[in-house]
Each structure stands twice: as structure tokens, then as C-alpha cells.
Structure 1
Amino acid sequence: MTWKFYDFDELTAAELYEMLKLRVDVFVVEQNCPYPELDGLDQKSIHLAYKENGRILAYSRLVPGELKYGVPSIGRVIVSPEARGRGLARELMNKSIGFIFSEWQPEAIRLQGQVYLKEFYQSFGFDPISGVYDEDGIPHVDMKLDKEGCPNSSK
């Protein structure tokens, strides 16, 4: 059972395939949402994965600030269906937030959250900064976490 941060070039072909397959299986197939999953940001992002028995069960993509919003963002937050309910999503978010604030030291972090997860993200200190909008057929809201409002920003 291990958590690991990867630069894109550190990923093996098998790891990249497994990450992309998990993303497509959940975001495209499970959520019945055809959209362009491969968006050109993976190559410059940090990838956080949790592996158990050689399988990736949780994953997030940490996007540097200059690529999307002017501040770093967390995206593609995912836990495999068979691993849900074990607290992996909470641990994944804590590790993602901790990495960004300690390694990149920004003033804030952003994310685009599905509306049904708004309270989950608020539990980490994220605040909505947009109204609800449709993103590929799913209601989303933009959210922001300011460094001074984050209890684990020093991690």
C-alpha cells in the first residue's frame, strides 16, 4: 500500500495506461459523460496515485498554476469503485493539498468540482467562487482554497 507522486516522464507505460483507464472508466463510462479526457495537461502535471496489490485505487492530477488558472489546481480526483468508502478520497485530497502548498508554495489552489461533491471539498477549506454551471452534462462549481484558510498548508 503506497502513495506516490510522479512526474509524467517517471510513469511507466503500464502506470500511465492504468491511470488513464481508471479516469475513463469513471469519468466517461460510469458517469455516462463523453468528453475529451486527454486535454494536454498531463505531460506537465504531477500525478498522485495510491497503489494496493499492484493496482491504482486512487488518483489525482496536480496542475501547475501557469497551465490553467494562474494558481495550481487539483483535478481528476478519483477513487476506484471497489475502494470507495475507505477514506482514500480524504487522504488523496490531504496529500494533494499538502504537496501543492509545500512544493509550489502558491497563495491559493483551485478546482472544478462536481456539485454533489461541493461539501466534501468545503471540508478542506475550499470555497465556491462561481455559480453552478454545466460541464459536459454534469453540474460543476469552481472552488478556491486560500493558503491562509488551509489548516494543512504547512505540510
Structure 2
Amino acid sequence: MLDIKIKEFKELDIQELYKVLQLRSEIFVVEQDCVYQDIDGKDDRALHVIGLNDNEVVAYTRIFKSGIYFDMASIGRVAVHKQHRKFGYGKVIMEASIKAVEERFSENEIKISAQKYLTKFYTDLGFNATGEEYLEDGIPHIAMIKK
């Protein structure tokens, strides 16, 4: 089971922040073999959606209201620990993130920059691909919007 916590940056304690950054680095830098700047100066303007299993951070997203990252609300840094993907936590953390955007920001349109191979996953959550495929940090991506 996944316990969801939603926090502003200033509400994160040092251990939570460390575990979130560790998970993001594990997936986006090590697992995907991609050298990129994960700590991009935007975390302090995001809401952090943290998925805990037995008090361990195993899933995560960060969400933004419109105008901060894109012209509409957005969800990014979607991460699920490799050993926990088989439990459907990706869907759980995304559903919690969508709900948080709707409840916390009173917004229904959400834009994401999705890794191309995850298009079906996001389509099943109500997102539709828009525009052309592009490379982001050497990985094929596509913009997707949920209305």
C-alpha cells in the first residue's frame, strides 16, 4: 500500500528531502544513464507528492500551478523505485498528483513532458499527446495534455 503525502518545499524535513533527491537521482541519473541537472532551482515552487511504503519513499512527483513550469499546471519528475513498479504505484502516485492539481490549484488542464515509451501509461490516465516528439537530455519525449 502507498501512503501519499503532499508537501510544500518548506514543509519537507531534511530526511524527506534527502530521500526524494536520492530516489530522483537513482532513477533519472543512474538507472537512465543520463547526466543532467536534476536540482534545477524549481523545487521550492513545487508541491511534492511523496509515496511512502513502510516509511520509505518509493514514489514521487512534483507538481506546479500554471505559469511556473508551463503555461498550464504540470506534473514532473515522476519516479517509482524499480523494485516497487510491479505494484502499480506509478498509477497511484499520478492519480494522487492529478487530484492534488485539481484540489490545490483549482486547475483541470495539466501538461507533462512524457518519456515517449510511457505514452500508453499516460494516455490511460487521460493525457493526450500533442506536437512532435523531441529529445530531452538525450531521451525521446512528447508533450501530453490532460483536459
Q: TM-score, normalised by structure 1?
A: 0.91
SS in 1 for 2:62: strand
Unaligned runs of 5+ in 1: 147-155
- Answer whether contact 1:57 1:83 (CA < 8 A) is retained: yes
SS in 2 for 1:39: coil
Deviations 1:10-53 (A, max 9, x none): 00111101101100110011000001101111001000111122
**CA 1:107–1:53 in structure 2 vs 1: closer, same or farther (change >3 Å)?**
closer
- Answer whether contact 1:63 1:74 (CA < 8 A) is retained: yes
Q: Which moved more, 1:109-118 or 1:122-131?
A: 122-131
For the aligned residues, what is the CA RMSD? 1.0
The ranges of structure 1 where at least 4 consecutive aligned residues each deviate by more than 2 angstroms after the TM superposition are: none
Taking only the aligned residue pairs, the percentage that are identical comes to: 35
Q: Measure the CA separation in 1 of the matches of 2:92 and 2:38.
A: 24
Q: Does 1:61 align with 2:84?
A: no
Aligned residues: 146
Q: Measure the CA separation in 2 of the matches of 1:99 and 1:3.
A: 11
Unaligned runs of 5+ in 2: none
1:105 CA displacement: 1.6
Q: Measure the CA separation in 2 of the matches of 1:8 and 1:118.
A: 29
Paired position in structure 2 for 1:46: 47
- Answer whether contact 1:41 1:63 (CA < 8 A) is retained: no
Q: TM-score, normalised by structure 2?
A: 0.95
Alignment of 1:112-127 (within 5 A): 112-127=113-128
1:107 CA displacement: 4.2
